[in-house]
């Protein structure tokens, strides 16, 4: 005679947590029904489990007027509501930057403090990452001022990279407007323009509209005025705005940009150019060692060096070699001239030099001078009419981080200073 088969209960082999989740998923002994989302999808759960984690649910089911009917939840999606239930039942939170805004909203609504803490932890850990735009968006929505300020500062310093993050297009119109108003911001005008178009295209898709220049113009509205279209890369403007996004700008606006490209005056877009944003300051010395007793020139001579940097920089100071011995005079003037890559003089000013014995002296320029990447500029100074220190075994090329500074002998030099030795010790700049 066959042995009777043993009935396998659904509880067998499951942990307490697994049993609890099984009851939720299979709707076993559920005693409350939610109608969730715009389509009012039915989701069932257990009152005691919900009330044990949320004071809002506790009041809803055990307060003075306990809810007896189905609970309508129109402002939360089915996916987000299920994430919340899974967390309430299991302490497992399926959280990412794809859903953090919605999940934090649920945590706030139902006063789920530990769930909110996990959201805040993700935001805090991502403030200084490529997810900064999404952090800024969430922090702005929930008025988290500290997170908002920190993430915006990171965006300002790393805009070119942050605006490429996949979730960046999800930020609100208000947040985008704040970013477009940043000045300075570390990216090109083309980067901002490209992101505005990408964001507007995403909004068209969300609104089930055709991605067209006309629709993007309606969506962006006055934010178009925050882009200096005449400063956008010429090739990008012609291919991606004039052709691919026809209708984004009016015909008169397009003509104005093309006229500007050909030497005309811009009449539609802001004349204010964003300030350059420089991340870090550098001090570069070209010598391997400092020698004494450099040549003493009695007549008017000029030390000069041609310099280039592979990054866009802001020249702050010129570092010169100092007197070998103290000078008898109490005032010593040094004239510093700067020429651009075309040989035009863009700076000519007298500065007070050091009269005491010193190896080097830093001449801080009256105002920083910007130079584009790989563009030469020439530093010219009056040759010393006193016994001075000088650089020995100088390096024609200096590398630091991803920056390369090149020193060359200048045709404007009338002394023996060159890329290997002589006067002009180095430069200070922001990059």
Give pLDDT tens digits for 153-168: 999 989 999 999 999 9
Which is more confident, 65 or 225? 225
- pLDDT tens for residues 61-100? 998 778 789 999 999 999 999 999 999 999 999 999 999 9
CATH of the domain at 51: 3.30.710.10
CATH of the domain at 372: 2.60.120.820
The residue written with tokens 């399926």 in the block is 94
**368 shares its domain with 252:** no
pLDDT of residue 210: 96
**211 shares its domain with 150:** yes
Range of the domain at 97: 16-124
Residue 24 lies in a domain: yes
State percent of the chain over pLDDT 90: 65
- pLDDT tens for residues 375-393? 999 999 986 667 788 888 9
The domain boundary, picked from 214, 229, 261, lies at 261
Q: For the ranges 49-58, 183-192, 323-332, which has the lowest average pLDDT?
A: 323-332
The domain boundary, picked from 229, 261, 293, lies at 261
**83 shares its domain with 45:** yes
pTM over 0.75, yes/no: no
Residue 165 lies in a domain: yes
């Amino acid at each position: 005679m066959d042995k009777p088969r043993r009935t396998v209960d659904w509880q067998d082999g499951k942990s307490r947590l697994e049993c609890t989740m099984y009851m939720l998923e299979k709707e076993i002994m559920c005693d409350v029904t939610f109608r969730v989302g715009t389509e009012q999808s039915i989701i069932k759960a257990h009152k005691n489990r919900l009330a044990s984690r949320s004071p809002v649910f506790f009041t809803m089911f055990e307060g003075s007027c306990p809810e007896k009917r189905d609970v309508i939840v129109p402002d939360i999606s089915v996916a987000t509501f299920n994430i919340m239930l899974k967390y309430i039942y299991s302490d497992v939170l399926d959280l990412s930057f794809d859903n953090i805004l919605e999940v934090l909203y649920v945590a706030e609504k139902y006063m789920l403090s530990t769930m909110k803490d996990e959201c805040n932890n993700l935001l805090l850990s991502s403030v200084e990452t490529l997810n900064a735009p999404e952090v800024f968006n969430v922090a702005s929505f929930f008025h988290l001022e500290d997170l908002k300020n920190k993430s915006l500062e990171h965006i300002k310093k790393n805009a070119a990279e942050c605006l490429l993050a996949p979730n960046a297009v999800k930020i609100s119109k208000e947040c985008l407007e704040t970013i477009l108003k940043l000045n300075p911001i570390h990216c090109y005008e083309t980067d901002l323009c490209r992101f505005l178009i990408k964001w507007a295209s995403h909004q068209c898709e969300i609104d089930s509209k055709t991605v067209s220049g006309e629709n993007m113009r309606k969506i962006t509205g006055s934010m178009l005025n925050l882009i200096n279209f005449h400063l956008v890369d010429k090739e990008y403007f012609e291919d991606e705005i004039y052709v691919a996004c026809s209708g984004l700008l009016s015909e008169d606006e397009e003509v104005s940009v093309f006229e500007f490209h050909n030497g005309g005056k811009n009449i539609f877009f802001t004349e204010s150019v964003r300030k350059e944003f420089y991340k870090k300051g550098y001090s570069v010395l070209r010598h391997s060692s400092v020698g004494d007793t450099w040549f003493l020139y009695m007549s008017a001579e000029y030390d000069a060096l041609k310099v280039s940097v592979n990054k866009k920089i802001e020249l702050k100071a010129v570092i010169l070699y100092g007197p070998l011995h103290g000078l008898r005079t109490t005032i010593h003037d040094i004239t510093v001239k700067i020429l651009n890559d075309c040989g035009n003089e863009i700076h000519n000013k007298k500065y007070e030099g050091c009269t005491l014995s010193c190896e080097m002296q830093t001449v801080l320029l009256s105002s920083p001078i910007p130079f584009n990447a790989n563009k030469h500029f020439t530093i010219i100074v009056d040759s010393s009419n006193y016994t001075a220190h000088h650089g020995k075994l100088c390096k024609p090329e200096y590398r630091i981080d991803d920056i390369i500074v090149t020193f060359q002998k200048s045709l404007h030099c009338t002394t023996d200073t060159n890329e290997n030795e002589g006067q002009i010790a180095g430069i200070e700049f922001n990059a």
